[in-house]
Structure 1
Amino acid sequence: MSELPVYTKSQLALRNGQDKPQIWVALNGIIYDVTESRLWRNGKHYEHWAGQDLTAELADAPHTETVFEKFVVVGSLG
């Protein structure tokens, strides 16, 4: 199994659904592609914006990190 590509916070920030068509978010150092999720349309999910590390914000979410298991892992945050 090959290692995941590493992306910087700046590269992640471009995958916000506005600057590039991809919608990515990071959690615990892993970057997930949430482009296909209807809950992330236009790069926004409630008060959360795509292209960011959401690790600190997860504590306030009504769900656990297991919701990310259904999304494709595209890389790690370096």
Structure 2
Amino acid sequence: MELPSYTKQQLALRNGQDKPQIWIAYKGLIYDVGSSRLWKNGKHYEHWAGQDLTDELPDAPHTETVFEKFEVIGRLMTV
């Protein structure tokens, strides 16, 4: 199945504030993290949902395997 594509602007609305969805992007994929208690209200420590967090991961106390828990719901379009 082909994943739908979303722009950065569409991703930005899925921040748990503007829209109820809580999505983040990592390495071109968009994950629904709304089921995680650690992303309550769209905030996870100093990070906000609705953003591409690829560049933030090296500073995180976890590795990218954390994304295996979440559903991939789309691709981030690059212009």
TM class by smaller structure? over 0.9
Match of 1:68 in 2: 67
Gapped regions of structure 1 (runs ≥ 5): none
Match of 1:13 in 2: 12
User: Shift in Å at residue 3 of structure 1?
Assistant: 1.1
Match of 1:57 in 2: 56
Gapped regions of structure 2 (runs ≥ 5): none
Aligned-pair Cα RMSD in Å: 0.4
Q: How many residues align?
A: 77
Distance 2:74 2:36 in 1: 18
* Residue 25 (1) aligns with residue 24 (2): yes
Identity %: 79
* Residue 48 (1) aligns with residue 47 (2): yes
Aligned structure 1 segments of 4 or more residues deviating by more than 6 angstroms: none
TM-score normalised by length of structure 2: 0.96
